[in-house]
Structure 1
Amino acid sequence: MFEFAWLWVFLLAPLPWLFRWLLPAADSGEAALKVSFLPELQRLVGHRARAHLPAWRKQLPVALLWLLLLSAAARPQWLGEPLPLPTSGRDLLVAVDVSGSMAYADMRWEDQQVSRLSLVKQLLGDFIEGRQGDRVGLILFGSQAYLQAPLTFDRRTVRTWLDEALIGIAGKNTAIGDAIGLAVKRLRQQPDEGRVLVLITDGANNGGVLEPLTAARLAALEGVKIYPVGIGADPERGAGLGIFSLNPGLDLDEPTLQAIAEQTGGEYFRARDADELQAIDAALDRLEPVAQQPIQTRPTQALYAWPLAVALLLSLLLVARELWPQTASRVTQKRPFWLRRRP
């Protein structure tokens, strides 16, 4: 079905003529000299006097151009057949730690050493795209927590924003409590059941203003289930040389993450490698879907480019019509005198 999304735009159609009627006529204030032999002067310089046309015929191309522009601005579109949109009722927020320690390369993916954030992007991106019927959102947190993507059915866009996340974009520290608080603030506006937060971090809370366990109690009161994921290799697999070896896994506060899961009715996961990180997908599939009203969507194809292209072509023709007599006159004047037409 064809329709205009903004049909009210056509109410602006009489606007140019209204301005012409209300505004005073242009007057330079200088004296004008009217000559009755202007056609003869035009013929002397090579111009041909145009035949007198009615006023409505002169304004017709300009009126058509204006209507074409209004048609493009009214957003013409073609609506397809209604399609059912599967909904399970879950509202799933994913909070990803992007602090400096997430750049540590102690994970393996396809026989290659990769950073923690790179592995999260790869596996969590597949997880997000597979959440059929769920609304998914994204929170990035470091020293502060930011809502990168609100709850939406557009899972591909959420994955794109996850892929574009950079280390340190939200600060170098880890504000786990603030991330939970922001998630609760967003999820409390949704239906009571099916509120889920997946919290992925590799450290302990050392930033923000809200304590993780306090935020977990608020989440429990609002019915938000939290699934913390502690990512990072075991401490004994640290990298380095001699006494300077690094054990970033020691920073992970597993007792706090386990307490958060217990208070909210979720489950804690320890992701030492890719296989353990994938286990959260199966756990969330075991959640009982919440019944909701079926949703329908209609594919939409924008058609504004067609009237806009016709308007551009018509404007070029109008400009060419105005410039052609002057161009022809200059060409005639440059010809040798024996090739010029005599009056």
Structure 2
Amino acid sequence: MLEFVWPWFFLLLPLPLLMRFITPTTPKSEIIWWPTASLISKQSTSQSSGRVIKNPTLILFLCAWLVLVTAIARPVWVGDPIEITPSGRDLFIAVDLSGSMQVTDMQVNKETVDRLSAAKHVLNDFISTRKGDRIGIIVFGTKAYLQAPLSYDLEALNKLINENQIGFAGEQTAIGDAIGLGIKQLENKDSDKKVLILMTDGANTAGRVQPAQAASFAASQNVKIHTIGIGADEMVVQGFFGPKVINPSSDLDEPLLQDIASSTGGHYFRARSTSELSHIYHLIDQLEPTPSEDLWQRPKTTLLHWLGLLGLILIGFGFILQKTFLSKGSK
């Protein structure tokens, strides 16, 4: 569909005719500022037996005038509506890959699995629903690493999540470094909705940055941190004297995770099972909703430069034909 940004410029179209009838006849000794006007005058006097001599130069100049006025009116071609990705949050997910994540106290589809496998299962569903958000992945153990920068490619992010293995980042847990890396990746972003989800099953046992210090800096950078403590409270293991019940999450530093979340405006969650972890990510999905409205946009292509170029070409041909026409008329 063709639209014009400034359609009122079409009022200039009759200007050459007005100049023809309003401007008085100019003596030949005077300078003519508009070649087209002289051609109109020449054509009007070049009549024989009531027949006007046809002048292709005049036609070219008039066509050039029509094209240039149309260009000034800013024609825009509006295409069919297309769906665009709405602007949501910049969200980083920090996943603990320390050695303790291999404890098999979770279940997926009624099968006992380790904590990382349960986290992968839940994260796949969570990431798939975050249409409109830019999501990045941080993995941490003894050190923190950026696995994926912020991206809209949710399918690729899920593949990267599934490729993670326990111990890839070391056996210990650097919570402060993971937060610091998340802040570094988010600090230069324009988004005012910056979120970090940190999931761990232990305490800060490694790294150069203290978690409290990192959380304080995150708050100053308007980065909200939601923390998740993963791991069951009870687990039956076989001992020397038979089965016994232990607490596999005894190393989990819940007060630290609570302080990190509260100081940044986030929430702390406790996931003792895969179902609880899934419910937690559902709650986070509600706390940090993605844009709900479908956004559509009609692509617009301006035609001004093409019409302007065509007008200049017509004027150039007009001057060439004018020279030819006048040279023939002088013979």
Give the shorter-chain TM-score range. 0.5 to 0.7
The structural deviation recorded for 1:289 is 5.7
Deviation track 1:10-54 (CA, whole Å, cap 9, x = no partner) reads xxxxxxxxxxxxxxxxxxxxxxxxxxxxxxxxxxxxxxxxxxxxx
Q: Tell me: CA distance 1:295–1:240, structure 2 relative to 1, closer, same or farther (3 Å).
A: farther
Greater Cα radius of gyration, structure 1 or 2? 2
Residue 207 (1) aligns with residue 206 (2): yes
- Give the TM-score, by structure 2 length: 0.61
Measured in 1, the distance between the counterparts of 2:191 and 2:152 equals: 18
**Quick one: structure 1 residues 289 and 111, their matched pair in 2 at CA, closer, same or farther if it must change by over 3 Å?**
closer
Cα gap change, 1:297 to 1:266, in 2 (>3 Å) = farther
Q: 1:219 to 1:131 in 2, by over 3 A?
A: same
- Structure 1 runs not aligned, ≥5 long: 1-79, 299-343
1:160-185 superposed Cα distances (whole Å, 9 cap, x missing partner): 00000011001000000000000000
Instruction: State the 1:296 CA deviation.
Output: 7.1
1:267-306 matches, cutoff 5 A: 267-279=267-279, 280-287=281-288
Residue 116 of structure 2 corresponds to residue 117 of structure 1: yes
Contact conserved, 1:193 with 1:290, CA < 8 A, in 2? no
Q: Residue 107 of structure 2 corresponds to which residue in structure 1?
A: 108
Label 1:209 to 1:133 Cα distance change in 2 as closer, same or farther (>3 A): same
CA contact (8 A) 2:95 2:140 kept: yes
Residue in 2 aligned with 1:332?
A: none
Distance 1:171 1:276 in 2: 27
Amino acid of the structure 1 residue aligned with 2:229: G
Task: Tell me which residue corresponds to 2:149.
Answer: 150
Q: Tell me the CA shift for residue 286 of structure 1.
A: 3.0
- Equivalent-residue separation in structure 2 for 1:180 and 1:171 (angstroms): 17
How big is each residue's C-alpha offset from its partner over 1:217-275, in whole Å with a ceiling of 9 and x where there is no partner? Answer: 010000011010100000x3253415896533001000000000100000011000122
Relative distance call for 1:288 and 1:104 in structure 2 (3 A) is closer
Report the alpha carbon displacement of residue 192 of structure 1 after superposing the two structures with TM.
Answer: 4.5
Match of 2:249 in 1: 249
- Give the AA of the match of 1:283: I
Q: Which runs of 5+ in 2 are unaligned?
A: 1-78, 300-331
Distance 1:103 1:221 in 2: 35
Map Cα deviations across residues 47-75 of structure 1 (whole Å, 9 max, x no partner).
Answer: xxxxxxxxxxxxxxxxxxxxxxxxxxxxx
Distance of aligned partners of 1:281 and 1:88 in 2 relative to their CA distance in 1, 3 Å threshold: farther
Decide whether aligned partners of structure 1 residues 142 and 290 sit closer, same or farther in structure 2, where only a CA change above 3 A counts: same
| Residue of structure 2 in register with 1:31 after alignment | none
CA shift digits 1:286-323 (9 cap, x unpaired):
336689xx79799xxxxxxxxxxxxxxxxxxxxxxxxx
Contact 1:239 1:247 in 2 (8 A): no
1:175 and 1:247, CA in 2 relative to 1: closer, same or farther beyond 3 A? same
Aligned residue number for residue 159 of structure 1: 158
Q: Which residue of 2 aligns with 1:239?
A: 237
Match of 1:170 in 2: 169
Please state whether the residue corresponding to 1:252 is helix, strand or coil. Answer: coil
Report deviation, 1:197.
0.5
Q: Deviations over 1:103-141 (max 9, x none)?
A: 110111221111000000011111011101111110010
Percent of aligned pairs sharing the same letter = 47
Contact 2:133–2:290 (CA under 8 A) maintained in structure 1: no
Report the secondary structure of 1:167's partner residue. coil
Query: Secondary structure of the residue that 2:142 maps to in structure 1?
Result: coil
Cα pair 1:230 1:271 within 8 Å, conserved: yes
Q: Which residue identity is paired with 1:227?
A: H
238 and 252 in structure 1: CA distance in 2 versus 1, 3 angstrom threshold:
farther
Q: 1:103 to 1:146 in 2, by over 3 A?
A: same
* CA distance in 2: counterparts of 1:296 and 1:197, whole angstroms: 31
Distance 1:81 1:238 in 2: 62
In 1, the alpha carbon distance for the partners of 2:111 and 2:275 equals 15
Match of 1:19 in 2: none
- Residue identity in the other structure for 2:284: A
Distance 2:169 2:94 in 1: 12
Distance 1:295 1:105, change over 3 A: farther
Q: Secondary structure at the match of 2:263?
A: helix
Residue 194 of structure 1 contacts residue 289 of structure 1 at CA under 8 Å; is this kept in 2?
Answer: no
Is the Cα contact below 8 Å between 1:85 and 1:133 reproduced in 2?
no
| Counterparts in 2 of 1:263 and 1:297: CA distance versus 1, 3 Å | farther
Higher strand share: 2
